Amino acid sequence: MSALLEVKHLRVAFGTGPDREVAVEDISFSIPKQGTFALLGESGSGKSVTALSVMRLLPEVARIESGEIRLNGQDLLELPEVQMRGIRGATIGMIFQEPMMSLNPVMTVGQQICEPLRRHRRLSRRASMARALELLDAVRVPDPRRRLYEYPHQLSGGMKQRVMIAGALAAEPELLIADEPTTALDVTIQAQVLELLHELQRDLGMAMLFITHDLAVAKSMADAVAIMQHGRIVEADSAKEFFENPRHEYSRNLFAALPDISKRGLRLHGNGSSPDEQAAQPESKASSKPLLEVEDLRVHFPIRRGVFRRVVGQVRAVDGLSFTLHEGETFALVGESGCGKTTTGKGLIRLLPVTQGKIRYRGHDLGHCSAHEMAPFRSELQIVFQDPFSSLNPRMVIGDIIAEGMQVLGSAQESGERRERIEELLRQVGLEPKHQNRYPHEFSGGQRQRIAIARALAVNPRLIVCDEPTSALDVTIQAQILNLLQDLQDQHGLTYLFITHNIAVVSWMAHRMAVMHEGRIVEQGDTVEILQNPQHEYTRTLLSAVPRL
Amino acid sequence: MWVVLLTDFFLYLLLAGVGLYVGFVLRTPHLRHAWRSVMTRRGGAVSVVALGFFAAIAILDSVHFHPRLEQPGAQVEYSNEILSVFDVLVGPLRTHVERTYSAPFAYHAHSKETRETPQGRVRVYPRLEYGGAHLENPEQERGWDITVRVLRGALLGAGVWGFLWLSAWQIRRLRGRKPRDPGEAAIPWWSVGVTALLILMLIGSVTQLAGAYHVFGTDKVGEDVLYQTLKSIRTGVLIGTLTTLIMLPFAIALGITAGYYRGWVDDVIQYIYITLNSIPGVLLIAASILSLHVYLNAHAEEYTSLAERADLRLLFLCMILGLTSWTGLCRLLRGESLKLREHEYIQAAVAFGVSGPRILLRHILPNVMHIVLITVVLDFSGLVLAEAVLSYVDIGVDPSMNSWGNMINSARLEMSREPPVWWSLTASFVFMFGLVLFANLLSDAVRDAFDPRVKR
């Protein structure tokens, strides 16, 4: 097979002069016709920059300094912009990560798909609409005739990604670039989209450049893979060879950092910790003494309409949940987006008003107590959020952020004592005491998450609600944070309510788990038992959709 | 006999506030760091120096007194007139009053007058009483005289600058150089020095010239236009700052409260500003100013001097401008708070049981301050202009008070003369432009320095 796309010694840099930063250094790879090539790497490794270079869609500050990008033997870097426009969309199609951002909200689905058709295939309006209908049918959008005239906001996330794919395929490109096409989607939708891409590739005979951070996804898609780190390809091989026997140390570290059921009780490999170091067995410390009992919890949001804001309906985000958290255990709440798991977490610690139900915590019902009655329990129930970038006030220094809880809840009132406590906390989460005078923007995502954990720990909580604490992080960073959470649980006997969509994390970390679907728990029990022998139909669907290594 | 006018009082209050804030900044490391980084930007450093110049004039012009009357008797009597320290400093500018219009650097009046001569009546340009009066043969001597004065003044200014610079350097050396933190950038002293040098040289030249010429000409009643524009600085600065000071509490408090609490609080606040917005601002201001007129006429005995009446009117204008102009900023802040309240750091604070007011102060307010800062500076220029527009319909500051608005307003008629009288407009434009430009530059630097998201 001859190569469709050949990239040779590509170097891309951002900025010029002393601020110049090389984003991609000496990248070479080739994709045969009808082949699938996966570029793997953590955030900031330069994989998206590589993809954008192929499309010549780099932002203005970036410059391709050297190298060749050949498509069917033609060097794309030498083409004038006018001809390049003819190639984009026609010979190379592209799908982006965020389906919400990549569709124009004021154009109908039909118009967006027709645009490349009319541009590249010179089809008439009628003909292009007919073709758009075929395409929507091909990407399995139900009721395509109606969807043609709908706007993006009327579609679900998975549906939008299908429309994006239809648009990218409209002009029958020879090469499809997919930049993290399923990262923003739920696992069940991800499985469908990946399956769809597979079939379309086979039917249309196109090649694919697949960019992802997810090893498992890459494995399910690619013929050949390359691992990128700091702008360089550290290992490139056929998929079969790579997944059986990764050679480079960095690749092996990535595999070691992945949480998995087989690693239960072992430390994950983050940077700087050895993989075989033993951690306490998750099962060991959990007691059967209940700490928090939830009974028939309901959180409904009223829908208001009209001038007088009359309540015309209810969104039943959480609809009758019952479970028990035992002291010192990790209880995972698993589900897809919109299933109400975050609402449950926030409702439990009364960040949202609870419509109905009991939350019994050490003999008190937190479900319906006033803000005043809630106050004494604030220090015992804390939360760590998903997005480390919005969970820290950008205008406060780290010391003040951590001190806030202590000030309000009255522990460590004296400033010297408080300072000592802050330093101790920073050390506990693996940061340095001198960091307390810096602002959050000076820290990376993983460090910020450590700060958020230190903030929650500052008031000596017994229960921490972890709301997707690692889903915005790279796998090696995720491994560090998960190890940290595990260590803290061992030291302080903390109880975690771990909210996540990531089954791998649950399988590594949780003692017990509950699967949520549409505001209800469909199945709960011992983690290993559920994972190995799911009872409920939905649990089975969910588990089978998870791509495996 | 010293007099404290109402606006003076508020200006002093503002100064005291600024003083306290500076003290607070010096004691707080990260604030000191941020302000230092304002000074490390060239734009910031230059505009601080230039605005310092404007502020100094405004402050000097806000220390008022009744001058003592020169009387032979033992009885000490004070004039009813109110002067400021600034008036005394610029002495001749105030007292050198011609009969009517004259162009900048002119030695004769702008228009011809009829004179009786032995040859009969002739139309001539009469010589000015002060402008170029020292010249025997003005046509030949004037150019040279001006050049000499400019150079002499510039040298004088440079001399003063050199003295200040040397003494600052000496003090710094005596106190011992404190090692700078490696993370901190150097303040661009070079730019600061050049700006100060330019300003001092300019002041030197102008003082040398002002004694003998009217640098910006004279107006209809022969008053020196340079003096008028310099006096207008105080009016402009006051309208800009006092109005903002009055408007800010409303805008900030109501805006972030509405955005954070939502629900009925939001509804009430929205209805208030929607109502206020739907009343035409000019009408509201006209009504208030006219009712102030009525009040002043009814209580004529309490406000005896012209200056006091004009001052009260200025204060009232600031207040009413403040009361009508907070809605825009309020709306912006409400929107921003609506967005911020969903951020997870706010939720984290709620999870600690932090009270609502404390969240507003600690978490929301600092995160909207950049909007406040930008709006305030943009409004500043808008307010100075609004004053001009209001003067046009005679509801601006008192006509007897010097202000750029009044000058621009009177320029309407002056520009339609033949040949046009362009200097009033030019002078007020140059000064207004300078003030607004430097305020904008400073606000840019401040915003960048205080926004942690901008990488330094």
Query: CA–CA distance from A202 to each of A161, A172, A181, B52 (Å)?
Result: 19, 13, 18, 73
Contact A334, A341 (CB under 8 A): yes
Give per-residue burial for B417-432: e unless 16+ CB within 10 Å, then b.
Answer: eeeebebbbbbbeebb
Q: What local confidence, expressed as pLDDT, does residue A412 receive?
A: 65
* A21-32 vs A310-326, strand pairing mode: unpaired
Taking contacts as CB-CB distances below 8 angstroms, the residues of chain B near A379 are 352
Mutation target to probe the A interface, by most A beta carbons within 10 A, among B344, B361, B368, B451 is B344
Contact B86, B61 (CB under 8 A): yes
Continuous segment of H or E residues that includes residue A85 = helix A81-87
Two structure tokens written together for B155: 């040298």
Interface check A301 vs B, CB under 8 A? no
CA dihedral for A297, A303, A309, A310, sign (positive or negative): negative
Question: Measured over all CA atoms, what is the biggest interatomic distance in chain B, rounded to whole angstroms?
Answer: 98
| DSSP code, position A436 | G
Q: What local confidence, expressed as pLDDT, does residue B360 receive?
A: 92
Contact A391 B345 (CB under 8 A): yes
**Which position has the token pair 């008022």?**
B64
Determine if the peptide bond prior to A282 is cis (ω within 30°).
Answer: no
Q: How many helices (H) and strands (E) does chain B have?
A: 16, 5
Taking contacts as CB-CB distances below 8 angstroms, the residues of chain A near B350 are 351
Angle at CA of residue A107, ends A101 and A111, nearest 5° = 115
Interface check B29 vs A, CB under 8 A? yes
Q: What local confidence, expressed as pLDDT, does residue B257 receive?
A: 94
Those residues whose C-beta lies under 8 Å from the C-beta of residue B156, and which sit 6 or more positions away, are B204, B207, B208
Length of chain A: 549
Angle at CA of residue A362, ends A361 and A367, nearest 5° = 25
The average pLDDT across B220-229 equals: 87
Contact B383, B239 (CB under 8 A): yes
A40 three-class SS: strand
Taking contacts as CB-CB distances below 8 angstroms, the residues of chain A near B30 are 397, 437
**Which position has the token pair 């901190």?**
B184
Q: Please tell me the distance in Å from A356's CA to the nearest CA on chain B.
A: 20
Contact A378 B353 (CB under 8 A): yes
Q: Please tell me the distance in Å from A406's CA to the nearest CA on chain B.
A: 9
The average pLDDT across A492-514 equals: 91
Taking contacts as CB-CB distances below 8 angstroms, the residues of chain A near B452 are 394-395, 439-441
Q: Please tell me the distance in Å from A110's CA to the nearest CA on chain B.
A: 33
Interface check B70 vs A, CB under 8 A? no
Q: What local confidence, expressed as pLDDT, does residue B453 receive?
A: 60
Strands of A158-204, DSSP E: 175-179
B312 three-class SS: helix
The average pLDDT across B274-295 equals: 88
How far from chain centre, in Å, is Cα A131? 34
How far from chain centre, in Å, is Cα B169? 31
Q: What local confidence, expressed as pLDDT, does residue A535 receive?
A: 92
The percentage of chain A sitting over the pLDDT mark of 70, rounded to a whole number, equals 96
Taking contacts as CB-CB distances below 8 angstroms, the residues of chain B near A409 are 352-353
Q: Which residue of B has its CA nearest to A304?
A: B263
| Sheet arrangement for strand A520-526 | A381-384, A463-467, A495-500, A330-334, A512-517, A520-526
Taking contacts as CB-CB distances below 8 angstroms, the residues of chain B near A437 are 29-30
Taking contacts as CB-CB distances below 8 angstroms, the residues of chain A near B336 are none
Q: Which residue of B has its CA nearest to A400?
A: B362
Q: Which residue of A has its CA nearest to B339?
A: A390
Contact B352 A408 (CB under 8 A): yes
Contact A406, A397 (CB under 8 A): no
Interface check B343 vs A, CB under 8 A? yes
Q: Where are the alpha helices (DSSP H) in A318-409?
A: 341-348, 371-378, 398-409
Q: What local confidence, expressed as pLDDT, does residue A523 receive?
A: 92
The percentage of chain A sitting over the pLDDT mark of 90, rounded to a whole number, equals 21
> Of B344, B352, B455, which is closest to A405 when you measure between CB atoms?
B352
Interface check B352 vs A, CB under 8 A? yes
Question: Measured over all CA atoms, what is the biggest interatomic distance in chain A, rounded to whole angstroms?
Answer: 76
Q: Please tell me the distance in Å from B453's CA to the nearest CA on chain A.
A: 6
Taking contacts as CB-CB distances below 8 angstroms, the residues of chain B near A419 are none
pLDDT in tens, A308-367: 777 878 888 888 899 999 988 999 999 888 888 889 998 888 888 888 888 998 888 888
Q: Where are the alpha helices (DSSP H) in B262-364?
A: 263-278, 281-298, 306-340, 344-351, 356-359
The average pLDDT across B365-379 equals: 82
Q: What local confidence, expressed as pLDDT, does residue A452 receive?
A: 92
Contact B351 A378 (CB under 8 A): yes
Q: Give CA–CA dist B398/A277, Å, rounded.
A: 83
Continuous segment of H or E residues that includes residue A107 = none
Taking contacts as CB-CB distances below 8 angstroms, the residues of chain B near A455 are 348
> Residues 272..301 of B with a Cβ closer than 8 Å to A: which?
none
Contact B348 A375 (CB under 8 A): no
* A36-41 vs A207-212, strand pairing mode: parallel
pLDDT at residue A274 is higher than 60: no
Contact B105, B205 (CB under 8 A): no
pLDDT band at residue B177, thresholds of 50, 70 and 90? low
The average pLDDT across B383-412 equals: 82
Interface check A489 vs B, CB under 8 A? no
Q: Give CA–CA dist A279/A349, Å, rounded.
A: 30
pLDDT in tens, B92-143: 788 888 888 888 888 888 888 888 888 888 888 888 878 777 777 777 888 8
Contact A395 B452 (CB under 8 A): yes
Q: Give CA–CA dist A449/A472, Å, rounded.
A: 10
Q: Please tell me the distance in Å from B364's CA to the nearest CA on chain A.
A: 9
Q: Give CA–CA dist B239/B386, Å, rounded.
A: 10
Contact A503, A216 (CB under 8 A): no
Two structure tokens written together for B259: 């955005």
Mean pLDDT taken over chain A: 86
A521 beta partners: A516
> Residues 364..403 of B with a Cβ closer than 8 Å to A: which?
366-367, 369
> Of B350, B355, B366, which is closest to A351 when you measure between CB atoms?
B350
Q: What local confidence, expressed as pLDDT, does residue A278 receive?
A: 47
Interface check B263 vs A, CB under 8 A? no
Give per-residue burial for A56-79: e unless 16+ CB within 10 Å, then b.
Answer: bebeeebebeebebbbeeeebeeb
Nearest by Cα to A180 from A55, A331, A38: A38
Give per-residue burial for A330-351: e unless 16+ CB within 10 Å, then b.
Answer: bbbbbbbeebbbbbbbbbbbbb
The average pLDDT across B184-205 equals: 83
The average pLDDT across A488-495 equals: 90
> Of B350, B352, B452, which is closest to A394 when you measure between CB atoms?
B452
Q: Please tell me the distance in Å from A19's CA to the nearest CA on chain B.
A: 12
Contact B352 A404 (CB under 8 A): yes
pLDDT band at residue A536, thresholds of 50, 70 and 90? very high
Q: Give CA–CA dist A323/A296, Å, rounded.
A: 9
Q: What local confidence, expressed as pLDDT, does residue B256 receive?
A: 94
Q: What local confidence, expressed as pLDDT, does residue A286 receive?
A: 61
Q: What local confidence, expressed as pLDDT, does residue A352 receive?
A: 87
Q: Which residue of B has its CA nearest to A387?
A: B344
Mutation target to probe the A interface, by most A beta carbons within 10 A, among B264, B347, B367 is B347
Q: Which residue of B has its CA nearest to A448?
A: B345
Neighbours of B380 (CB within 10 A): 22
B239 beta partners: none
Contact A351 B362 (CB under 8 A): no
How far from chain centre, in Å, is Cα B184? 32
Q: Which residue of B has its CA nearest to A405?
A: B352
pLDDT in tens, A376-415: 888 889 999 988 888 898 888 899 899 988 888 776 677 7
Q: Which residue of B has its CA nearest to A388?
A: B344
Taking contacts as CB-CB distances below 8 angstroms, the residues of chain B near A396 are 362-363, 366
Interface check A469 vs B, CB under 8 A? no
**Which position has the token pair 């969509």?**
A501
Nearest by Cα to B45 from B186, B155, B237: B186
Q: Give CA–CA dist A230/A299, Å, rounded.
A: 45
Q: Where are the alpha helices (DSSP H) in A458-511?
A: 475-492, 503-509
Q: What local confidence, expressed as pLDDT, does residue B255 receive?
A: 94
Two structure tokens written together for A502: 């990531």
Q: Which of A68-77, A305-314, B248-257 has the lowest mean pLDDT?
A: A305-314
Mutation target to probe the B interface, by most B beta carbons within 10 A, among A395, A402, A468 is A395
Q: Please tell me the distance in Å from B375's CA to the nearest CA on chain A.
A: 19
Contact A266, A279 (CB under 8 A): yes
Query: CA–CA distance from B293 to each of A283, B297, B298, B303, B398 (Å)?
Result: 84, 6, 9, 12, 11
Q: What local confidence, expressed as pLDDT, does residue A312 receive?
A: 79
Contact A165, A200 (CB under 8 A): yes
Contact B351 A395 (CB under 8 A): no
| DSSP code, position B421 | -
pLDDT at residue B437 is higher than 70: yes
Those residues whose C-beta lies under 8 Å from the C-beta of residue A31, and which sit 6 or more positions away, are A3, A4, A5, A6, A37, A175, A207, A208, A209, A224
Q: Give CA–CA dist A161/B316, Å, rounded.
A: 60
Q: Please tell me the distance in Å from B441's CA to the nearest CA on chain A.
A: 23
DSSP per position, B141-183: HHHHHHHHHHHHHHHHHHHHHHHHHHHHHHHHHHH-PPPPPTT
pLDDT at residue A280 is higher than 50: no
Position B395: which residue type? Answer: I
The average pLDDT across B36-42 equals: 82
Q: Give CA–CA dist A357/A320, Å, rounded.
A: 8
Q: Which of left, alpha, beta for A357 (phi over 0: left; psi -120 to 50: alpha)?
A: left
Those residues whose C-beta lies under 8 Å from the C-beta of residue B348, and which sit 6 or more positions away, are A383, A385, A391, A452, A455, A456
Q: What local confidence, expressed as pLDDT, does residue B394 receive?
A: 79
pLDDT at residue B456 is higher than 50: no
Q: Which residue of B has its CA nearest to A460?
A: B352
